[in-house]
Amino acid sequence: MKNIFKAIAMFMVSYTTITAADTLVIGCRPWDENIQTVNGLSQAHFVDFRADGAPVEAPNFHHLDLNDAETFSAGKFSEFAAQATEQYKTIIIDWITYQHISRDKTWRDFFNLLGEGGKLIVPITLFYCGKPASEEGARTVVSHKLEEIGFKSIEIFSHDAIIDDKDFALLTQDRGGGMLGAMLSFKPAIIIASK
């Protein structure tokens, strides 16, 4: 199996069949309409600074501000990270959320939340990398921060490499849009950092 397929398969599985309670999705909420077509999200945990529309019970949702500014009365992400050290195998940053992270220590918090061998998946959209997102553009945006923190490996896949891969095309068929469709519409490069 090609390296690109392994990475993309892992990414796609995370987006389409999340079932594990040790997965953390950053930047969306379990009741958001655009993720209702994504299968198996019931046990994953979610972090977002907005809680509007929250059902009475949302035990897998954490109302937190990644920048610790407590925007919309959200709690501090750093406090959550200090209490949940090494509890997650996978952290997925939703399709455009990374651009709102202004507190550099948030990236260290992601590292600390991951257990050994855990993966941080970051789609970097064309807003910062041009059309479509390139490996070089993604590297300049985030990967240098991840290297400094201590991630063991950082793989970056340009949008062109993802779309040109026939195996990726098979994985994206019949997904019905939702979060994945929104993410793909922004022509991202994908960073996968392993702890």
- In the chain, the domains with their CATH numbers are 3-194 (3.40.50.150)
- Rounded Cα distance between 128 and 96, Å, is 10
The reported pLDDT for the residue numbered 123 is: 82
Instruction: Go through 135-151 and write b for each residue having 16 or more CB atoms within 10 A of its CB, e for each that does not.
Output: bebbbebbbebbeebeb
- Rounded Cα distance between 72 and 38, Å, is 27
pLDDT in tens, the chain (195 residues): 233 334 444 454 444 455 578 889 899 888 887 666 565 566 789 999 999 888 888 888 999 999 999 989 999 999 999 999 999 998 988 877 888 899 999 999 999 999 999 999 888 876 655 566 777 777 777 767 898 999 999 888 777 766 665 544 444 444 444 455 556 666 778 888 999
H or E, element range at 91: strand 88-93
Give pTM, 2 decimals. 0.81
- Positive or negative torsion for Cα 124, 107, 53, 14: positive
